[in-house]
Structure 1
Amino acid sequence: MDEWLAFLDPIPSIVADEMEAFNDTKWRIEAYFPEEPDKAAVELIQSRLPSASKAKPLITKLPDEDWVVMSQQGLKPVHAGRFYVHTSANKDEVPKGSVPINIEASRAFGTGGHETTSGCLSMLDKLKCMGKRFNLIADIGTGTGLLTFAASHLWPRAYLTASDIDPVSIDVTRDNALLNGYALGSGPGQIALCVAAGTDHPIIQQRAPYDLIIANILAGPLIELAPSLARIIRGGGALILAGLLNTQAESVIGAYRKLGFRLEVRRDTGDWPCLLLVKRKRFGWQRPIRADGRTSQPPGDFGTW
């Protein structure tokens, strides 16, 4: 939590939303207080947003409702491959033969409702149906941990690593792992968690080379992370990429093709493709090195949709 929030009593819940997809210049910031905020509280929040210094805050009283329950009721379950992603509001509706994963509405990306996440779930399921086996798996930008949990179910003896640039996401992933019965730790069948910008963390580097890497983030960071991801995946290893628009796919594919990857499968769900790439073995294994940490995303935006 930012230290400046400690000056507010009670501390509000703050939500930031892009007003236009992939337009970093237009944002809407909403702060939820249990009672009407005074002028000082409004000015403090606005002081942390230099670009909004001349904006006129809009203060509105909301109906007395249980907004958490209402938001969860608004989240529809997602059935992708063998996985059924749901909240506690629809936990009794699990289709026969499916694998349920309970992901509540929270502060991190990745409830399964976005096409990028459901696309990754379907791609993981496809790999399992193809008979693929993975022993070392990394989920870069894990969000709520959903894709890590899916991989853990499919390959229960694998060593799994889940990272995110946002510490909140790692807290949420930890809670979701406990909720769904997935073990945390460093052993086989367990999930090791870490806060990291891209691949820049000792846990991620020391566990390389990986058999499978999942990165459901955005096109810009996927391109910037290409050299770092290429260093920590073995020859013949699989790479699932998502979070990009179909108009951005060729640029992303091109960045990885230059580093020895070939496109194995592309599945488009609406405007959102999910890519499965494989690293050509002839490029061999390069000893992993620390990533430079550069990313085109602002802090907190790494993570599953």
Structure 2
Amino acid sequence: MTLKTKRHANALETISLIVPEKHIAIFEQALNTVCPTVGIFEENEDKNLWRLEGIKDTGYGDKELNSSITLAGGLTQFFPEIQKHSTETEGWLAKTYESFPAQKVGNMFIIRGTHLNDPITSSRVVLTLDAGVAFGSGEHGSTRGCLIALEKIAYKKPRKILDLGCGSGILAMAAAALFHKKVLAVDIEPWSVRAARENVKRNKLGNFVHCEVGNGWLTPSIRKQAPYDLVFANILARPLCKMARNLARNLQPEGIAILSGLLVSQTAMVLSAHQKQGLKLEDKVTQGHWATLILKKPREK
């Protein structure tokens, strides 16, 4: 999942789409091309329809956004009506802050916005993110699922860790803070990497997390540092399927992969692609309509 660091000094607008549940992930990714934050709300339970709302500066990236939504429509053969309306900047930020209190995730993590000033006394790992632009803040079911999955495999104490498609950097930071090991965090979007670097600096994890722009498994530094004990890939179902072979090749024997960004209905498809490469299902975490898979590479006989 990705995040953009563009600040909201200008007038804002909300872009709304109503889509079936099975198409949420693809249209969410389309909105994320230009929107710093995207919300997902149930619109009609009986018809299984969901409303996606993206917030962006008025007029910013309109051509790119239309192209992304058109592409998503081509992939899904579903073409939603695009609705736009102006959004008051201060009101939206205030609403965002109000809806982003400190969040406990699982038994190990607390996610806090930068707008919270009260001191924390907790034995949990505390991660601070900018609520004004945060996507990958721990609110999304896929992010929460990955953090809970990380908690489940914490006893394995991985040494070489990769966050593929790092977005805000939240998973890389969680692993670095938990294990005190170096983590390579890579995303294809430069603005996402800039945001991740800011978050890493904000959480004083610069000695552990290295963020860089890269194109998945083709990234030279990823290939150079392989194989890995732990790989996060919180992206989309179809890209996960396409990368299954490379993931299996770049995992250590008994290495763990935490995969998310997929709907519960897409679980079988993603799992099948990875089982064909010899990976085994260790566990599954479900958060609402989102699933997270914990896969393991068996030791060679």
TM-score for both structures, normalised by structure 1: 0.73
- SS of 1:234 mapped into structure 2: strand
CA offset at residue 76 of structure 1?
Answer: 3.4
> How far 1:12 sits from its partner (Å)?
7.0
1:71 aligns with 2:89: no
| Residue in structure 2 matched with residue 161 of structure 1 by the alignment | 184
Indicate whether 1:228 and 2:246 are aligned. yes
Tell me how far apart the structure 2 counterparts of residues 239 and 152 of structure 1 sit (CA, whole Å): 16
Partner secondary structure for residue 282 of structure 2? strand
Alpha-carbon RMSD? 3.2
2:291 aligns with: 273
Aligned 8 A contact 2:260 2:293 in 1: yes
1:143 and 2:150 matched: no
Give the whole-Å Cα distance in 2 for the aligned partners of 1:47 and 1:103: 27
Deviation at 1:18, TM superposition (A): 5.3
Distance 1:17 1:58 in 2: 6
**Which of 107, 116, 120 is matched with 2:146 structurally?**
120
2:119 maps to 1:82: no
String of CA shifts for 1:16-55, please: whole Å, max 9, x gaps.
665421354996776535xxxxxxx79x945984688xx9
Is the 8 Å Cα contact of residues 257 and 294 (structure 2) preserved in structure 1?
yes
In structure 1, runs of 5+ residues without a counterpart are 1-9, 34-40, 185-189, 284-305
Unaligned runs of 5+ in 2: 1-8, 32-52, 71-80
Amino acid of the residue matched to residue 22 of structure 1? A
Q: Tell me the distance in 1 between the aligned counterparts of 2:264 and 2:82.
A: 37
Decide which moves more: 105-114 or 86-95: 86-95
Mark the CA change 1:31 to 1:147 in structure 2 (over 3 Å): closer, same or farther. Answer: closer
SS in 1 for 2:195: helix
Contact 2:15 2:55 in 1 (8 A): yes
Aligned to 1:292: none
Find the structure with the greater CA-based Rg.
1
**Native 8 Å contact 1:73 1:89 kept in 2:** no
Identity over aligned pairs, percent: 29
* CA gap 1:107/1:168 in 2 versus in 1, 3 angstroms: farther
Residue in structure 1 matched with residue 25 of structure 2 by the alignment: 22
Distance in 2 between residues matched to 1:46 and 1:245, nearest whole Å: 28
The one-letter code sitting in structure 2 at the alignment partner of 1:169 is: S
Q: Deviations over 1:99-146 (max 9, x none)?
A: 211111355630100121111111112222xx2121100001111111
Distance, in Å, in 2 between the alignment partners of 1:248 and 1:209 is: 27
Cα distance, 1:155 vs structure 2: 1.2
Give the match's secondary structure for 1:177. Answer: helix
Partner in structure 2 of residue 32 of structure 1: 57
Higher strand share: 2
1:13–1:195 CA distance, 2 compared to 1 (3 A): farther
Length-normalised TM-score, structure 2: 0.73
**What is the SS of the residue equivalent to 2:295?**
strand
Question: What is the alpha-carbon distance in structure 1 between the residues aligned to residue 221 and residue 82 of structure 2?
Answer: 45
